Amino acid sequence: MDCTHIRIASVPLRLQVGGEQAELFRNRKGYFSINVQTISNVNLEITDIVARWPGSAHDSTIFNNSYSKAQFESGKYGEALLVVDGGYASTAYMMPPIEHPTLPVEQLYNESQIRTRNPVERSYGVWKRRFPVLALGMRIKLDKILNVIIATAVLHNILRRRGEEVPPDDPEIDLPAPWSELLRDGQVSSADVASQSTRNRGRDSLTHHISFTSLQMTHALYQQTTILTLL
């Protein structure tokens, strides 16, 4: 499990929600986004998705308020485990890396943990390469942006199940940077966008004051009881 930022354009956003509320969508890298949580399997399919939080929301905040956490806490998935990065706390069902491994067994655990977590990182690259608008930014209404995110996730899964290869890059797309840069950490960095302002934006406290009632939407891709484990 992890989160990735889906870039959104600042001007349409400010017109829709106002300047002060728009700042809730500015992430730690300085651009506006939706912070999207996903759980992926080894085939890079997205088995669960939460697409309703602004970019300033911390990954752990999204999980703590998700249906998936409630399901894991209730024991619905039995001994299934979520492999996550160091931004999450260690629990009975959540396995982050060991922060400062010293013993050989701890180092081996971290190596295995990183390899096991790799599919969710790769899924973001495949998803965004197939649907470049997710990496380059959307200029449509906010509610439609959420629908686009979910729709492309569903299409991504269908194509993964069919074994479809990622299509070649469209030469007509004017990329602000090479794909290797655009997909670094699963998101576009502020340095990749030519018109990005360089002024300081220290807004970590906004994460704790999110007022986001207009986007109370919970999405699930499947009705079947899939065991959400990356092992």
pLDDT in tens, 179-209: 666 666 444 333 333 333 333 333 333 333 3
| pLDDT, averaged across the chain | 79
pLDDT in tens, 59-83: 999 999 999 999 999 999 999 999 9
pLDDT band at residue 111 under the 50/70/90 scheme: very high
Instruction: Report, in angstroms and rounded to the nearest whole number, the Rg of the chain calculated over CA atoms.
Output: 18
Q: How many CA atoms lie within 13 A of 123 on its CB side?
A: 32
> What number is the average pLDDT over the span 43-54?
96
Q: What is the pTM of this model?
A: 0.76
Residue 192 is predicted with a pLDDT of 34
Residue 177 is predicted with a pLDDT of 66
Beta bridge partners of 7: 33
Is there a contact between 119 and 41 (Cβ–Cβ < 8 Å)?
yes
Q: Does residue 91 register a pLDDT over 90? A: yes
> What number is the average pLDDT over the span 24-52?
95
